[in-house]
Chains A and B, each alone.
Chain A
Amino acid sequence: MPRRKGAPEVNAGSMADIAFLLLIFFLVTTTIETDAGLDRMLPPIEPPEEDVIIRQKNIFTVNINKNGQLLVEDELMNLKNLRSAAIGFLENNADGSCTYCKGKKDPGSSDNPTKAIISLKNDRETKYSTYITVQNELVGAYNDLRNREAQRLYQRDFTDMESEYLNPETPSSVRDELKDKVKRIQDMFPQKLSEADTSTN
């Protein structure tokens, strides 16, 4: 009986073609997602039990009209100046209780950062892009202040610390350490950005 040959070798020459085919399919269907954006919390629909009395000077009102113009504290303002105005309001520190603020201590403006509230109102016909720009500037004002304090205390940016803290790939030992730092900076400048109901007129 003739000796049987081993199994014939499979020709792998077309493997590259098959792999290319698959590769091209995935290349075409790929969309590397760029999902990022401004995180916001909406106010709960039930009004709070007791009415909290907030003094007018602790509220920083920003109104956007349908043409995209800004009315800040009853004065027309250019969007480019909004961030610095918001920073000035937040760290004004009229009652002197905030030791890390560098504000002007103007008695007609906010008492301290924990009491300062920014109220954003918009018209129904305001363009979404304008609204996002304003939101971005206001969030930016908070982030600027928080970054400044984080640099002073921990020699790194708050936004950097926060994104590392929120990143699920960060090891939990690092995260626990960051948690207190992030919390501390957040408490220094709590983000109080109220989105009131839109004016209808």
Chain B
Amino acid sequence: MAKFTKKKEGDLPAVSTASLPDIVFMLLFFFMTVTTMKDSSLLVENTLPNATEIKKLEKKDRVIYIFVGKPTQEYQKVFGSEPRIQLNDKFANVDEVGSYILAERAKKPQELQNVLTTALKVDKNANMGLITDIKQELRKVNALKVNYTTYEGDAFNNLQ
């Protein structure tokens, strides 16, 4: 008579997966806490240069970002391939920088308005002419604290 053979005693018991949710939740919470949602998508190429003498930008709520670089492939037809300024989600001209800074500053709480930093995220292939114009605009609105955002790395790699 056909009969299923009895399981042998030496068989490995199934690994308990009961703690799997706990492990996954732990990972989940880790990523949830370190996640920062991108608040603006990049319209420009943005490969930052390297530097060694850098300081961390603490406290994100005190930072205003300005992106500069060549428009990405899909925007090159419309905006050309010369480096452009990106403020929030759109391209801008140099003369709009001042009003943008003032508008962003007005959005921040009163006590932070004097300690704001402007982070310049500039593509390494941009020219200084545009940056100088931006700096001039920043001086006009008295936003004197700037941070040239860079990657950490040997600065001489920039020259290649």
Contact = CB atoms under 8 A, between A and B. Distances in A.
Q: Do A and B come from one complex?
A: yes
A79 B32 contact: no
Given A32-B34, A33-B36, A42-B135, A122 B128 contact: yes
A32 B119 CA distance: 17
A168 B132 contact: no
Interface string B109-132: 000000001010011111111011
Interface stretch (B74-82, B87-95, B100-108, B139-147): B139-147
Contacts of B59: 168
B21 interface: yes
Interface stretch (A20-28, A54-62, A95-103, A149-157): A20-28
A44 interface: yes
A74 interface: no
B96 to A, nearest CB: 18
A45 B142 contact: yes
Contacts, number: 172
Contacts of A23: 24, 27-28, 31
Given A26-B28, A29-B38, 20 more contacts: A16-B21, A23-B28, A29-B35, A30-B31, A31-B35, A34-B152, A36-B149, A37-B55, A37-B147, A38-B150, A39-B146, A44-B139, A127-B124, A127-B125, A127-B128, A128-B123, A129-B158, A132-B51, A140-B53, A198-B132
Interface of B: 17, 20-21, 24-25, 27-28, 31-32, 34-38, 49-60, 63, 117, 119, 122-129, 131-132, 135-136, 138-140, 142-152, 155-156, 158-159
17 contacts: A19-B21, A35-B119, A36-B57, A37-B51, A37-B148, A39-B147, A40-B147, A42-B135, A45-B142, A79-B156, A124-B132, A126-B127, A128-B127, A131-B131, A136-B53, A143-B53, A197-B136
